[in-house]
DNA sequence: ATATTGTACTCAATTTGTTGAGTATGTCAA
DNA sequence: TTGACATACTCAACAAATTGAGTACAATAT
């Protein structure tokens, strides 16, 4: 029944900490959740609709003046039970599908400068993401020695994001150095 | 016309080096291609069918005795043109969807040992993958100073895979250390 | 005065990815 | 000799993700 609903689990886990509207969830997904789960606005809204139908979350409409009404979602007991059931099952590593590396494999078809330029562009993107995550880390967790269990968990996901993005920057530098030797 | 056909591009890039049957492509995808693109057997066969219909690849049936016939695919001029057109366009970083980190966020719902066990299991998986990639690296590229441009590109994708998997091992160790402090 | 951005969502079409079954044969080990 | 594993594919159904459009109003910038 609840096999393969990974986005649903991510939403449930997020609502387990705090209640959010669909729009606020999307904003959170665009900032900190991003380092472990990316989802579009449309995906989030659709999943919220499904989860509410299933009874895993419940909503409350907050009328607002000047702005559209908000629908605030909270997790239900049933939702928590679904999360718990899922937690004890093993998870496989995410499937990697990285276009840049496919381009590296096909790079020989065009002048060297084409792939080099793209790798440099990507290096910048990842550098910026490292900075963004580091800033969130400092704001949310200024004192690493005084974290609650819950905070430690949240902290660790950010640490994973920083490691991931930093590794990309490092690889880009290695690639630029190795491929710059060519004149092609 | 050719927007969003990332698996197709990966297959074209692979056939750009050498011709393969669907089955051999799948085996290659399960070994070295894995570090930048994962695809199932079914996906590969379906995509090969589409690409042949489009004229991007062409096939030749090799009759075999004792075994089923093979269909060997090669890239066509049209396929190379598609690859070249795609190469000059920018690529965005892959979307991250990592279940383990979602579980870390929800970890507080269950005893600490549950998530710790899962992180340890994952650490092993990534360690093994590091070893597997390192072995391929040594076999295919024993002398890093004497690589052709094409080999350098292939080498770099493996280097990326090693970096990626190693980063996971490092993060797992950090997480285990931080979360082991709790008795919960 | 007009354009852009932000808030807060919905709907539909298409592509992509997953799951499971089915066909057919050969080798190797318990 | 039975069962597992490897070769070499096809078909169908479903779930997930992407893309693009549309609704509606407010605040802010040019």
Residue B23: CATH number of its domain: 1.10.10.10
Would you state the pLDDT for residue B119? 98
The number of residues making up chain A comes to 184
| Three-state DSSP state, B157 | helix
Per-residue pLDDT at A2 exceeds 60: no
CB B118, CB B175: distance < 8 Å: no
Per-residue pLDDT at A1 exceeds 60: no
Residue at a domain's end among B35, B57, B87: B87
Residue at a domain's end among A66, A87, A108: A87
pLDDT in tens, B37-85: 999 999 999 999 999 999 999 999 988 776 777 899 999 999 999 999 9
Residue at a domain's end among A87, A117, A150: A87
A93 to chain B: closest CA residue: B98
Would you state the pLDDT for residue B2? 46
Distance D14 C1' – B5 CA (angstroms): 21
Grade residue B1 by pLDDT with cuts at 50, 70 and 90: very low
d(CA A142, CA A136): 10
Clarify whether residues A82 and A117 are in a common domain: no
* CB contact set of A156 (below 8 Å; sequence gap of 6+): B101, B104, B171, B174, B175, B178, B179
Clarify whether residues B38 and B103 are in a common domain: no
Per-residue pLDDT at B144 exceeds 90: yes
Neighbouring C-alpha atoms within 13 Å toward the C-beta of B21: 11
Would you state the pLDDT for residue B62? 85
* CB contact set of B60 (below 8 Å; sequence gap of 6+): B71, B72, B74
Partner B, chain A 31-50, Cβ-Cβ below 8 Å:
34-38
- Determine whether the interchain pair B96/A125 forms a contact, defined as Cβ–Cβ distance below 8 Å: no
Name the residue range of residue A52's domain: 6-87
Task: Evaluate whether residue A1 is within a structural domain.
Answer: no
Task: Evaluate whether residue B69 is within a structural domain.
Answer: yes
Task: Evaluate whether residue A94 is within a structural domain.
Answer: no
Task: Evaluate whether residue A67 is within a structural domain.
Answer: yes
* CB contact set of A101 (below 8 Å; sequence gap of 6+): B35, B36, B37, B156, B157, B160
Clarify whether residues B133 and B156 are in a common domain: yes
Per-residue pLDDT at B28 exceeds 50: yes
| Number of domains observed in the structure of chain A | 2
Grade residue A183 by pLDDT with cuts at 50, 70 and 90: low
d(CA B69, CA B77): 26
Provide the positions of strand D that have an atom within 7 A of a protein CB: 7-12, 15-21, 24-27
Residue among B11, B99, B157, B183 with most chain A CBs within 10 A, to mutate: B99
Chain A hits for B122, Cβ within 8 Å: 91, 93
pLDDT in tens, A23-37: 999 999 999 999 999
Clarify whether residues A24 and A69 are in a common domain: yes
Question: Percent of chain A, pLDDT > 70?
Answer: 96
Would you state the pLDDT for residue B183? 61
CA of residue B144 relative to chain centroid, distance = 22
Clarify whether residues A45 and A81 are in a common domain: yes
pLDDT in tens, B118-143: 999 999 999 999 999 999 999 999 99
Clarify whether residues A83 and A104 are in a common domain: no
Over residues B110-118, the mean pLDDT reads 97
Per-residue pLDDT at B3 exceeds 90: no
- For residue A114, give the nearest of B83, B93, B163, B94 by alpha carbon: B83
Clarify whether residues B121 and B54 are in a common domain: no
Task: Evaluate whether residue A92 is within a structural domain.
Answer: no
Task: Evaluate whether residue B92 is within a structural domain.
Answer: no
Name the DSSP class of B138. H
Clarify whether residues B81 and B40 are in a common domain: yes
Clarify whether residues A79 and A125 are in a common domain: no
C6: residue with closest CA to C1': A67
Clarify whether residues A49 and A27 are in a common domain: yes
The number of residues making up chain B comes to 184
pLDDT in tens, A49-66: 999 999 999 999 887 776
Clarify whether residues A52 and A123 are in a common domain: no
Kindly report the average pLDDT of chain B as a whole number: 93
- CA B103 vs CA A36, A87, A89, B114: distances in Å: 10, 6, 10, 10
The shortest C-alpha distance from B61 to chain A (Å) reads 26
């Amino acid at each position: 029944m609840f096999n393969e609903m990974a986005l649903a689990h991510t939403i449930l886990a997020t609502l387990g900490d705090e209640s959010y509207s669909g729009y606020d969830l999307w904003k959170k997904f665009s900032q900190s959740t991003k380092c472990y789960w990316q989802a579009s606005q449309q995906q989030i809204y659709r999943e919220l609709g499904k989860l509410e139908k299933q009874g895993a979350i419940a909503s409350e409409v907050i009328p607002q003046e000047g702005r559209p009404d908000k629908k605030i979602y909270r997790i239900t007991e049933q939702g928590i039970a679904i999360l718990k059931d899922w937690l004890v099952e093993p998870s496989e590593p995410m499937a990697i599908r990285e276009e840049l590396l496919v381009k590296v494999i096909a790079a020989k078809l065009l002048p060297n400068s084409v792939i080099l330029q793209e790798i440099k562009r990507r290096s910048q993107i990842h550098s910026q993401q490292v900075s963004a995550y580091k800033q969130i880390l400092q704001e949310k967790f200024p004192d690493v020695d005084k974290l609650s269990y819950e905070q430690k968990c949240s902290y660790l996901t950010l640490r994973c994001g920083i490691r991931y993005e930093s590794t990309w920057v490092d690889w880009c530098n290695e690639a630029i150095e190795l491929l710059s030797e060519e004149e092609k």
